Each structure stands twice: as C-alpha cells, then as structure tokens.
Amino acid sequence: MKKKLLGIALGLTMVAGFCVTANAEGDLIKVGIINNDPSESGYRTANVNDLTNTFTEENGYEASFAYNNDNAEQIAAAQQFIQDGVDYLLLSAADVAGWDTVLQDAQNEGVQVILFDRTIDADESLYAASVVSDMAKEGQTAVEWLAGQGLDEYNVIHIQGVMGSAAQVGRSGALDEKVEAEDNWNIVVQQTAEWNAEKAQQIVQSVIDSGEAFNVIYAENDDMAKGAVAALDAAGISHGVGKDVIIMGFDTNKWALEELKAGNWNYDGQCNPFQSSYLVDIIEKLEAGEELDEKVIIMEEKGFDAETITDEDIEQYGI
C-alpha cells in the first residue's frame, strides 16, 4: 500500500515536472501511458520496456507513465492525465469495465485515446484506435502446428491459465474445437494451473503417477510448460524434438526459445508485447490529419518450431 502511495506521489510529481518542461518546448507530443504493473509477468516487463524506449524526448514525445493493476487507480490516473492536458492517452486497462465516463471526459477535452494490449467494454466512438493481440488466433496457429506433426494419436495434457482471462479463453478454444472434431485427439487431463509453474508440475506429476499415456503437453504459457517439463524430467520421460512427448508453450520468453533451440521443447507461440511501433504509426497518422484504415489493429504473431528457430529469432522475438 505504502509502495502504491509512493508510486502515485512519484507519478504526480513526474506529471507536474513534465508540465513545466512542456511550456518550454511546445513542439513535443504529450502522451499519458497507463499500463499494468511491470512485475505482473515477463510479458508485461517487455511491454513496459518497449514503450519507455519508444516514447522518449529524442523521438519527439513527452511521456508520463502510470502503472497499476487496479482498475480504479488506473481511472484516477487517466483523469489526472486529462487534467494535465495530454494530447494522447494510451491505455492498457486492468479491467474491461468502468471506462465510459473518463473516456467521455477525454473526448470533451480533445484527448485522443488509443487502447493497446487489452480491449475494453466501451463504445467504439470513445477511442481512436486499439492495438491488440488475437488470442484465439494464437491458439489456432498452435493447434494447426500440432496437427501438422502427423501423430497417429494425440493424447494431450492441457494446462490452462487463469480461467476467464483473454489468453486462456483464446488459447483453450482452438484446442477444444480440434479435440471435439477429431477422433484421434483426446484430452488426458484439462486443468488450470493459473499461470503457476509449480501447480503445472503437480498436475503433470499426478498424470504420470496415474500411469495414463500422453504424448503432448499443451501449456498456455511458458512458466507452466517449464513446470510440466520438470515433472517429466523427474519421471525419466523424454521430451522435445523426436522424443516421446511434445512440449508446447506460449509467450516466447527468451529462456523458453532457448529450450526450443536446444530441442527440449517443440513449439512456442508468440504473444506480441511490442505494440509501440503500431502506436507510433497511429499517432503520426492522426497528427498528419489522416484517416486511419482500421480502428482495431490486430498484431502479427508468430509460432516458433524447434526445428526451424534461429538465434536471430531468439534475439528478435524473445522477451
């Protein structure tokens, strides 16, 4: 709590500080960026770093940041940014609901709102654009890759993320459909490990103890895949390229891609945290008074195969 208060206080002083400099250099574009806490996950850390490295004074921006996993605090920060007269409000909302009023205020004050990473339940007229990941497509890409492996039988251990989160819903959906449609696809166990590596380890350990056969582990993020692999290692079950069990993960953490390169894992799906180039593109168009081609921009996301991944891929896409 103390830390939070301190954070808010710091944020306010920063905003105040920027106001002063803004008067001196009027040609900078003022952006207020509201994001989730960088310690939330490796994905978020990469996301925050990407934004802070892009929206710099050298690039012609004067950016203020507010980090919070609490929706109400985020809304308070947004109001502050609007009062401070930012030109653009960039928003990754903690929760989909509750944003109508503050976004209406923004519109009245002439602040352009751009959503990134997460979408919200508000009228489309309230924001200029959104840059988001298509989680369902991430799932489809992964399942198509798996189908392309041509196994005689797919006995899948499906480890899910926190139930109801966009990533879980999207990534589970594709697999569920495929299992429903194909006779030789079976779910051995479908459990949520809530993004927790150790819980995933226990779930897989339990399947091993029960003696049931499986040949695929479909984990909805890298951490959980890592936990699953630890259970396999302890039980002496081989995994990876050309081995008994196929390992699939998501999020393209650097260490996970290295596991891929070493052949210990088979597939890793990207969830692109690098929205800043898209955001800059949109802002430049809006500044030039151009019309946007599309309101919702879905980022391109890749799936990596252990047999084709290169060191450059790890460098470029690892987070």
Partner 1 sequence: MNDKSKKTSAAAVLTKLTRNQIFIPLAALLLLVIINLIAGPSFFKISYSANNAGNMIFSGYPITILDFGSELAILAIGMTLVTAASGGQDISVGAAIAIAGSVMLRVLCGNAGSRPETMQAPIIVAFLAGCVVAMLFGAFNGVLVAFFRIQPMVATLILYTAGRSIAAWINNNELPIINEPEFGYFGGIIPGIPIPTPFLIAVACMIVTALVLKFTTLGLYTQSVGINEKSARLNGLNPTFIKFLSFVILGLCVGVAGLIKVSRLSTINYSVIAKDIEMDAILAVALGGNALGGGKFNMVASILGAYVIQFLTQTLYRFKVSSDALPAYKAIVVIILVVASAPTVREKISSLWKNRKAHAKEVG
Query: Does 237 interact with partner 1 (rule: CB under 8 A)?
Result: yes
**What tokens appear for 72 in the block?**
């109400």
DSSP H helices in 195-304: 197-210, 222-235, 254-261, 276-287
Query: Does 296 interact with partner 1 (rule: CB under 8 A)?
Result: no
Nearer to partner 1, 133 or 201 (CB): 201
Nearer to partner 1, 13 or 238 (CB): 238
Which positions from 136 to 165 touch partner 1 by CB under 8 A, shown as an x/- string? ---------------------------x--
Nearer to partner 1, 179 or 193 (CB): 193
Q: Which stretch binds partner 1 (CB under 8 A): 127-135, 206-214, 283-291, 298-306?
A: 206-214
CA distance 174 to 177: 5
The answer to whether 49 touches 33, Cβ cutoff 8 Å, is: no
Q: Helix, strand, coil % (nearest 5) of the chain? A: 45, 20, 35
Nearer to partner 1, 4 or 137 (CB): 4
Query: Does 236 interact with partner 1 (rule: CB under 8 A)?
Result: yes
Nearer to partner 1, 3 or 152 (CB): 3
**What tokens appear for 288 in the block?**
């030039």
CB of 178 to partner 1, least distance (A): 20
Q: How many CB atoms lie within 10 A of CB 288?
A: 7
The CA-atom distances, in angstroms, between 166 and each of 137, 153, 255 are 12, 29, 24
Residues 11-50 touching partner 1, rule: CB under 8 A, are 38-42, 45
Q: Which residues contact 14 (CB under 8 A, 6 or more apart)?
A: 64, 65
CB of 120 to partner 1, least distance (A): 23
Q: Which residues contact 182 (CB under 8 A, 6 or more apart)?
A: 154
Residues 212-231 touching partner 1, rule: CB under 8 A, are 223, 226-227, 230
| Closest to 268 in 3D by CA, of 279, 255, 280 | 255
The answer to whether 90 touches 132, Cβ cutoff 8 Å, is: no
Query: Does 97 interact with partner 1 (rule: CB under 8 A)?
Result: no
Query: 190 — alpha (psi -120 to 50), left (phi > 0) or beta?
Result: beta
| Closest to 318 in 3D by CA, of 270, 263, 247, 279 | 270
CB of 196 to partner 1, least distance (A): 4
Query: Does 275 interact with partner 1 (rule: CB under 8 A)?
Result: no
Nearer to partner 1, 109 or 198 (CB): 198
The answer to whether 249 touches 267, Cβ cutoff 8 Å, is: yes
Residues 165-204 touching partner 1, rule: CB under 8 A, are 189, 191-199, 201-203
Question: Which residue of 52, 104, 119, 205 would you call a contact of partner 1, by CB under 8 A?
Answer: 205
Query: Does 233 interact with partner 1 (rule: CB under 8 A)?
Result: yes
Number of residues that bind partner 1 (CB under 8 A): 41
Residues near partner 1 (CB under 8 A) are 1-3, 38-42, 45, 163, 189, 191-199, 201-203, 205-206, 208-211, 223, 226-227, 230, 232-238, 255
